[in-house]
Amino acid sequence: MKYLTNINDLDLNGTYTYADYLTWRFEQSVELIKGKIFPMTPAP
């Protein structure tokens, strides 16, 4: 299994599955909601 480590390798307007999500190893936290990627911001 190949892991993605750079969020810039993804098309942020694309549609993804949970199986895709499991291959992501980003430093930045992201959410996958209805196939779309949403960057999470740190809590204050």
The CA distance from 12 to 1, in Å, is 21
Q: What per-residue confidence (pLDDT) applies to 43?
A: 81
- Regarding pTM above 0.85, the answer is no
In a domain, 18, yes or no: yes
In a domain, 30, yes or no: no
In a domain, 41, yes or no: no
Q: What per-residue confidence (pLDDT) applies to 42?
A: 82
Q: What per-residue confidence (pLDDT) applies to 13?
A: 93
Question: Exposed, middle or buried, 16 (CB in 10 Å: 0-12/13-18/19+)?
Answer: middle
- Report pLDDT digits (tens) over 1-44: 789 999 999 998 999 999 999 999 999 999 999 999 999 988 88
The tokens describing 19, both together, are 């199986």
In a domain, 3, yes or no: yes
Domain that holds residue 3: 1-25
